[in-house]
Chains A and B, each alone.
Chain A
Amino acid sequence: MSEYRIQGMTGEWEVVIGLEVHAQVTSNAKLFSGASAAYGGEPNSHVSLVDAAMPGMLPVPNRECIRQAVRTGMAINAQINKWSRFDRKNYFYADLPQGYQISQLYHPIVGEGEIEVILDEKDANSPRKTIGIERIHVEQDAGKLMHDQHPTMSYVDLNRSGVALMEIVSRPDMRSPAEAGAYVKKLRSILRYVGSCDGNMEEGSLRADVNVSVRKPGEEFGTRTETKNVNSIRFVMQAIEVEARRQVDLIEDGGTVVQETRLFDPNKLETRSMRSKEDAHDYRYFPDPDLLPLELDDAFLEDCRASLPELPDAKRARYENELGLTAYNAAVLTAEAETAFWFEDLLSHGVDAKQGSNWLMSELFGALNKLGKSLDESPVSPAQAAELLKLVADGTISGSIAKQVFEIMLETGQGAAAIVEEKGLKQTSDTGAIEAVIAEILAANPGQLEQYRAGKEQLFGFFVGQTMKAMQGKANPGVVNELLKKALAD
């Protein structure tokens, strides 16, 4: 892909990046309890006895969370482990009621997989790169500490405690901030297609631990640092940039990079040491004796596979090859599940693919952009849009009239046909009427007519424009062209 290099005093440096993405599993209930996994809510309102680790309480795996992890694994062509196991990761903290997090260290549910990323989706020739995924495992989220509620004490909110997360661990296959950004974007896109994570980084449904090291190109991997809990794609890219720069400067100043956990400060654009390897916890992982190994049968796996939607890569290829869309349009329309689903809804109402894709990407995106709304919030539904586009396709209105109609639809919510009817915007192919207007235009512009006839053929467009304007855009452009040519030739 790109040759991203950091210029140091001693020459060029290459950055090596691996990401551990924590994705909150979309499910109604938590991983091991029946409490709600919904975002928000009053502090400690989504807490069961299990989540609060009351004496004698036991975890029971939530089948839906397991299913979502398996479906995600299938979507990245990963090996699904029919036998996996939960381990306890032991450490003390006030947001961790059990004193351990139930995770999967030794036998994760999903093994090796991969995803393909395109650095620049607008460029049909942009190189593609395959990023390896080492594993996906399922684990519990922790609660939240609130330090601003009391002068000397911290409060604990356990609403998040026990919510299911997937930890998606990449290989150290990325070599630039842009590649890392493209990877997170693609991963998020896949998760949303699959429906296993809403990918909402603002609410913390998706966050990344960023492993960064630097080396002279071709040399062995350097010592890496791990920057924790980075919660936007932009921050991931910035954190890599500043952390790689810091490491290069450090090494060139004669220092050595220490393996440690760091925090990214997006305001100061720097990373700061959180704890070094020496104070790292000894997590004393061991198999959770409250839980039996997780064994998946073929019927369950088949059900997971059958429930997968068409994924972005396959969809993009189909849009290009079967629908005949441009590479760029296909890439944009498939990047997010909601766009692709909206587009396909539109096509299901009989709209032509090219017409529909062009309209969606220029007219609808433009309008939503102005309104500051997402596609989900579009005031015009796919069915309503289809009604409009079919009026253009069958010649009832012209493209320019369609723009006016669309504006009215956005404002009033009225249907396209009703607007055209009410405002009398139907296109005319009445040759008599058009000929009369053409005659007037030619008579009114003798100079241009003379120039045209003298060979300045570019003026044809001028006559078309004048005619259309005189007819308030309602003339059928094909008929106008034909009649004008005839009149000008006379």
Chain B
Amino acid sequence: MTDLTKLGVAAIRSGVANGEFTAVEVAEAFNANVAAAKVLNAFIVETPEKAIEAAKAVDADRAAGKPLGKMAGVPIGMKDLFATEGVQTTAASHILEGFVPTYESTVSANLWKAGAGMLGKLNLDQFAMGSSNETSYFGNVINPWRRNDGGNAALAPGGSSGGSSAAIAARLCPAATGTDTGGSIRQPAAFVGISGIKPTYGRCSRWGIVAFASSLDQAGPMARDVRDCAIMLEAMAGFDPKDATSLELPVPEWEAGLSGDLRGKKVGIPKEYRLDGIDEDIAKMWDNGIAWLKDAGAEIVEISLPHTKYALPAYYIIAPAEASSNLARYDGVRYGLRDLPDGAGLQDMYAATRAAGFGAEVRRRIMIGTYVLSAGFYDAYYTQAQKVRALIARDFDNAWKQCDLILAPTAPSAAFGLGEKTSDPLSMYLNDVFAVPASLAGLPAMSVPGGIDKEGLPLGLQIVGKALDEQGVLNAGLAIEERAGFTAEAEKWW
């Protein structure tokens, strides 16, 4: 019998539907992989029983001849930023340790309705703040990939959706949810050689997702290939009246619309992304990507996104500003951690609870955000950053006059070693330099594997599309996938 954990979403779904294997067999196989991979620390909570329960329901439906959902029989990992009813939801923080929601996020509920099952809650950077998964209160995740130098140095799986990326790369789940605020789906996908898409802002409901930066947060799928991403995104997306920023639009049939034929499409190459000192392997991969898209029929044009260099500074004002306010609710009064020193008053309780409950990176961003919103600094920082954000959106609007899609690297480097960047937040933040502009503009963007660098590590290519053109992004991703021939896998050592 085939190793079921080698299969992706589409293959599992059709295998279950055709009776080649049962959903329970699939769930058991992945449960076993999860249980055997604790050293990766990809999961905060494992829920094998949930995976089995959902699988049994799918098998029963099939036996009864009932129609099966888009994700029927597919067990997935759920980033621990999504509230899951009855299952601890922590955002990888101490302050929410032990918090068990009485409600289910809209996106996860959509997935369960589509027949998916939950293998567990995936580790992440605390409150999704980080690019390496090292800010988790529950310890860092280890990237299943290793450099080919024989040194066995532990590498970061990217972040913030590092549990998701590592779990898929290590075949602990065929797909997982991610959230992307400034690259948190795309960068970790690139770091482990998988695919991931952040849809247009408003496609997926934010209801029930622990908020980091509301105007940027967007959920999306991470999976082994483009088709799997399309399938899962269809299941996740949709209008939600409980989210005022949700788009009131029908969900397109992205899977059915998949085509690697890019004839008639123009793909822009932003010259500002060719940074001085760009990694040689990254530059080479980008050139390969251009060649593949050309081969798929696309016309390549050079474009300019002139405000690119201001994107990262603007992002690191807007996201912390929103976060400083969004995280005010974790105050020890109603749920989560409460640290009440002897004889303490309300203010003392706030200070003690938040000091103990938030990690260093979260505290740093709360302080930055508080600072940039404070009287006397607001205009210099927040207002300026919002203007920059508008200019960046305008850059893209202008670019769309010349092209339909944009191709760029996902991240400026391959996965780095754990601890390499933790002492230098700025170099860590630079990891998001290519990812952040699309986030600020609310555009759909995807990372697909683009090749292997000289150290044997995967690299990602990023496609950015017009608002609502997830189909165009997925199709370009598919064209690359069909040509890149990316079959490398992390060699199992765990």
Chain A positions near chain B (C-beta within 8 angstroms):
49, 52-61, 88, 90, 92-94, 97-100, 154, 156, 282, 284-286, 289-292
Contacts and interface: CB of A to CB of B under 8 A. Distances in A.
B331 A286 contact: no
A249 to B, nearest CB: 33
B244 A60 contact: yes
B325 A284 contact: yes
A414 B328 CA distance: 63
Given A55-B101, A90-B325, A289 B335 contact: no
B213 to A, nearest CB: 7
Residue from B206, B210, B329, B374 with most neighbouring chain A CB atoms (10 Å): B329
B382 A286 contact: yes
A61 B374 contact: no
B242 interface: yes
Contacts of B210: 55-56
Contacts of B335: 54-55
Given A49-B102, A55-B91, A97-B329, 10 more contacts: A53-B329, A54-B101, A60-B244, A98-B329, A284-B324, A284-B373, A286-B321, A290-B214, A290-B245, A292-B245
Contact of A49 (B82, B103, B206, B331): B103
Interface string B180-210: 0000000000000000000000000011111
Contact of A58 (B243, B347, B374): B243
Central interface residue in A53, A56, A99, A154, by most chain B CB within 10 Å: A56
Contacts of B373: 90, 284-286
Given A60-B241, A92-B350, A284-B370, A53 B334 contact: yes
Interface in B102-132: 102-103, 105
Nearest to B321: A286
Contacts of A99: 325, 327-329, 331
A97 B208 contact: no
A458 B109 CA distance: 93
Contact of A55 (B83, B245, B321): B83
A57 B244 contact: no
10 contacts: A49-B103, A55-B99, A57-B207, A58-B207, A61-B244, A90-B325, A99-B327, A156-B334, A290-B211, A292-B245
B440 interface: no
A55 B244 contact: no
A94 B333 contact: yes
Contacts of A98: 328-329
B215 interface: yes
A291 B244 contact: yes
Interface in B155-171: none
Contacts of B256: none
Contacts of A58: 206-207, 242-244
A292 B243 CA distance: 10
B232 to A, nearest CB: 20
A56 B206 contact: yes
A66 to B, nearest CB: 12
A55 B96 contact: yes
A152 to B, nearest CB: 9
A286 B325 contact: yes
B83 A52 contact: no
Nearest to B373: A284
A290 B334 contact: no
A94 B345 CA distance: 11
B322 interface: yes
B378 A286 contact: yes
Most-contacted residue by chain B among A53, A61, A289, A292 (CB, 10 A): A289
B244 A290 contact: yes
Nearest to B96: A55
For the residues of B in contact with A, the DSSP-based class is: loop
Which of A59, A60, A100, A286 has the most C-beta atoms of chain B within 10 angstroms of its own C-beta?
Answer: A286
Nearest to B354: A92
B60 interface: no
List of 5 A-B pairs having minimum Cβ-Cβ separation, nearest first: A99-B328, A284-B373, A289-B214, A289-B215, A53-B329
A55 B350 CA distance: 17
Contacts of A290: 211, 214, 244-245
B375 interface: yes
Interface string B69-100: 00000000000001100000101000010010
Contacts of A154: 346
Nearest to B350: A92
Contacts of A291: 244-245
A54 B103 contact: yes
Contacts of A156: 333-334
A62 to B, nearest CB: 11
B135 to A, nearest CB: 18
Given A52-B334, A55-B83, A61-B244, A289 B213 contact: yes
Contacts of A90: 324-325, 328, 373
B241 A56 contact: no
A99 B324 CA distance: 10
Contact of A60 (B208, B209, B215, B242): B242
Interface string B382-415: 1000000000000000000000000000000000
B379 to A, nearest CB: 11
Nearest to B209: A56
A100 B83 contact: no
B333 A97 contact: yes
Contacts of A292: 244-245
A55 B104 CA distance: 11
A154 B346 CA distance: 10
A99 B369 CA distance: 14
Contact of A92 (B243, B322, B328): B328
A340 B151 CA distance: 89
A318 to B, nearest CB: 43
A90 B374 CA distance: 10
A49 B105 CA distance: 12
A233 to B, nearest CB: 34
Nearest to A90: B325
Nearest to A53: B329
Contacts of B213: 289
A100 B324 CA distance: 11
A282 B377 CA distance: 11
Which has the most chain B C-beta neighbours within 10 Å: A55, A90, A93, A156? A55
B83 A97 contact: no
Nearest to A145: B346
A54 B89 CA distance: 12
Given A97-B329, A98-B328, A99-B331, A56 B374 contact: no
Contact of B322 (A52, A54, A94, A289): A289
A52 B103 CA distance: 13
Nearest to B335: A54
B167 to A, nearest CB: 22
Contacts of A92: 328, 331, 347, 350
Contacts of B96: 55
Nearest to A152: B343
A286 B318 CA distance: 11
Contacts of A56: 82-83, 101, 105, 206-211
A154 to B, nearest CB: 8
Given A52-B334, A56-B209, A284 B374 contact: yes
Nearest to A56: B208
Nearest to B217: A289
A436 B237 CA distance: 97
A277 B333 CA distance: 28
A338 to B, nearest CB: 37
A291 B242 CA distance: 11
A97 B334 contact: yes
Contacts of A289: 213-215, 322
Contact of A59 (B244, B331, B374): B244
A426 B83 CA distance: 78
A367 B88 CA distance: 65
B297 to A, nearest CB: 38
Contacts of B325: 88, 90, 99-100, 284, 286
Nearest to A50: B242
